[in-house]
Amino acid sequence: MKLESSVVWHRRKFLVPNAVTLGNLFCGFLACIYAGSNRYEKAAVAIGIAILLDGLDGRLARRLNATSKFGVEFDSFSDFISFGVAPAYLLYCWCFRELADEFGVTVTFVYCLACAARLARFNISESSTSNFEGLPTPGAAFAIASFVFFSPHVQPSLALVVFYSLFALALAYLMVSKVEYFSVKRVKFDDVNKFVMLGIGATIALTWYSNKVGFMALATFYCLSGPVGQILRKRKDNRLKNVA
């Protein structure tokens, strides 16, 4: 009996991380539904929840020793919907649909294409560094969602179209670039800092609901941290060469 229950648990434990990934996929799908019906704030929240779930499924799989090729592929497809299609469609509906329909389709498709390329590169990457190479797709989705969440009911204008076109294309470039970004995978969840990370998560959640400016600033800081960090590292290396 004990052997049978052990076998059953071994099979069922794979369902746990995949169920979380399914939640990620559902949130991305829901964000598209909300965006299409002009409920932009809810769409941004759905993308935010998808980001949290995406950070959880891989950790659960490793903790339960339930990693699988299916899980990896399922996670990638879910990420493409939640962090590629959903934010692109949200940005299109929110900013481009009324004033720059065809142009907006082109811009947001470029974003989707970069997201797909970023995910494909991540799956075949054999990089030894603990950092991300290129802006991670949740980070790009986080940036779009935070800006929409900050001001869900804007009056479309040519200035906004130009700004968010450059914004989306910049995110697309950063995703396919080789700029290094900090990865939360470097953070070890030992018994001490579980509570610290829980506190950070609670702070982010409170920021989301009580301080939209702070949340948008957090997204902007992370997106800029990669290129700014690279510039600072190059300057430091050049100074060391000059000293030598």
Domain that holds residue 20: 11-243
Is the pLDDT higher at 148 or at 215?
148
104 domain-assigned: yes
pTM of the model: 0.85
Helix intervals (H) in 37-157: 40-63, 69-79, 86-91, 101-124, 137-150
Exposed, middle or buried by CB within 10 Å (0-12, 13-18, 19+), for 145? buried
58 domain-assigned: yes
2 domain-assigned: no
The answer to whether the CB of 165 falls within 8 A of the CB of 91 is no
pLDDT at 6 over 60: no
pLDDT at 154 over 90: no
DSSP letter assigned to residue 152: S
189 domain-assigned: yes
109 domain-assigned: yes
The domain that contains 192 carries what CATH number?
Answer: 1.20.120.1760
Confidence of residue 11 (pLDDT cuts 50, 70, 90): low
pLDDT at 201 over 70: no
- Taking residue 77's Cβ as centre, other Cβ atoms within 10 Å add up to 12
205 domain-assigned: yes
- Give the range among 10-14, 69-73, 189-193 with minimum mean pLDDT: 189-193
229 domain-assigned: yes
Write the DSSP string, 148-176. HHH-SS----HHHHHHHHHHHHHHHHHHH
CA–CA dist 29, 41 (Å, integer): 15
pLDDT value of residue 129? 65
CA–CA dist 127, 106 (Å, integer): 32
pLDDT value of residue 192? 46
6 domain-assigned: no
How many structural domains are present in the chain? 1
